[in-house]
Amino acid sequence: MKIQTADLLFVPNQHHDMDEAIAASTGNYVHVAIAMDSAHVIHASPRYGVVIQTLTVFLEESNHVDVYRPKVENSDGVVARARRFENRPYNFSFYKDDPGVYCSQLVADAFKGVIDFDEEIMQFGDGEHQISDFWSAYYLKLGVDVPLNQLGTNPNKMATSEHLKLIGKL
């Protein structure tokens, strides 16, 4: 399989604490990146902020990914729009007005006008509680309220878009 510009690389739960909390709240995909070309990706991660990496390095850190291809006539401009965010910090709070960027926020902004990914009320529960113990402790450390009733995006929801087609695993 050859990666193409604007393909989306979705990372399933790697079973780290944060991944487990995200998966419990929103579903199995916990991270997403944009292919810049067949050898490079751009993504927003807690470790690096918004960064460009080789596909090889990204895959070493992600274990494996599911590759989705946009079913659109023209995805020109997606990578250029994503690059505008390079070197921005990560948005740890997931609030829209935060100066940083989280992974699916980067994708939604880069694809705006090509694919308009639906925002939805963000989830921080675990199936039993509206706010899981993980997210309660996480936001307590950040010193901000959990962004309940705030609109946002998440990788799992993005992967269900009718404008994307699963093409394989890497």
User: What global pTM score does this model have?
Assistant: 0.95
Q: For position 92, what pLDDT does the model report?
A: 97
Helix or strand or coil: residue 132?
coil
Q: What is the rounded CA–CA span in Å between residue 107 and residue 20?
A: 22
Kind of pairing, strands 120-121 and 66-70? unpaired
Say how far apart CA 108 and CA 130 lie, in whole Å: 25
* CATH class in words for 8-169: alpha beta
pLDDT for 113: 93
| Per-residue pLDDT at 74 | 83
Distance CA 158, CA 17 (A): 22
Looking at this protein, which amino acid is placed at residue 112? K
Q: What local confidence, expressed as pLDDT, does residue 101 receive? A: 98
Q: Is 41 left (phi over 0), alpha (psi -120 to 50) or beta?
A: beta
Per-residue pLDDT of the chain (170 residues; tens, 9 = 90+): 899 999 999 999 988 999 999 999 999 999 999 999 999 999 999 999 999 999 999 999 998 899 999 998 888 899 999 999 999 999 999 999 999 999 999 999 999 999 999 999 999 999 899 999 999 999 999 999 999 999 999 999 999 999 999 999 99
- Residue 169 · residue 66 · CB < 8 Å: yes
